[in-house]
Amino acid sequence: MAIHPESLLDFQLEPLLSKKGLIPGVRTDTGLSPIPRYQHEFMTEGIDGLILRLHTYRAAGARFAQWRAVVGCSSIQSGFPSRLALDIHADRLAQFASISQQAGVVPLLDISVEADGDADLVRSADIHEKILGAMFERLRTHHVLIEGEFMRRSIDWS
């Protein structure tokens, strides 16, 4: 269960969640900001200081962390997402995953492709394919372990 950092830290929910058989996790991105000079496109913030925050969350009982990338999708004629937006999202997802693994926390990558009014299902599927392809390429570049072994070693399943 991914919760807000404040809930994990201020209310010390880890013992309660664990007692109920839930593995606590935390949401780590800090929201969206516009991509400069790219109307209607945003990037997810929160990489700065992430390693320190993740160490704090791990000490408080979090075993996984979530990062949400919101990718806008319109028709080809309307023109987004741009290649730049896809590259930014893919790279930030990979940075997040790499930093999470460095902190001993399992990364959970949440990609949300949000279709604008003029996007159809074919366009949405194309954008999903592009962002996933770019993300996996960047995960390899950042040496992120994607085979599942990291999760088995990071979480105490008892």
pLDDT of residue 84: 95
pLDDT band for 99, please (50, 70, 90 cuts).
Answer: very high
Cis peptide before 81 (omega within 30 of 0): yes
Give the per-residue pLDDT at 26: 96
Q: Please state the rounded mean pLDDT for residues 46-52.
A: 97
Model pLDDT, residue 79: 77
Whole-model pTM?
0.88
Cβ contact 13:2 at 8 Å: no
Decide which of 138 and 76 is more confident.
138
pLDDT category at 150 given cuts 50, 70, 90 is: low
| pLDDT confidence band for 158 (50 / 70 / 90) | very low
Residue 136 domain boundaries: 2-154
Whole-angstrom Cα distance, residue 71 to residue 127?
9
- Give the angle 53-148-146 at the CA atoms, nearest 5°: 75
Q: Indicate which CATH number applies to the domain containing 94.
A: 3.20.20.70
- Band of residue 85 on the pLDDT scale cut at 50, 70, 90: very high
- Cα–Cα separations (whole angstroms), residue 28 to 8, 25, 45, 87, 117: 12, 9, 9, 20, 29
pLDDT per position as a tens digit, 6-32: 998 998 888 888 899 999 999 999 999
Res 116 pLDDT > 80:
no
Give residue 6's pLDDT.
Answer: 92
Domain count, the chain: 1
**Percent of the chain beyond pLDDT 70?**
92
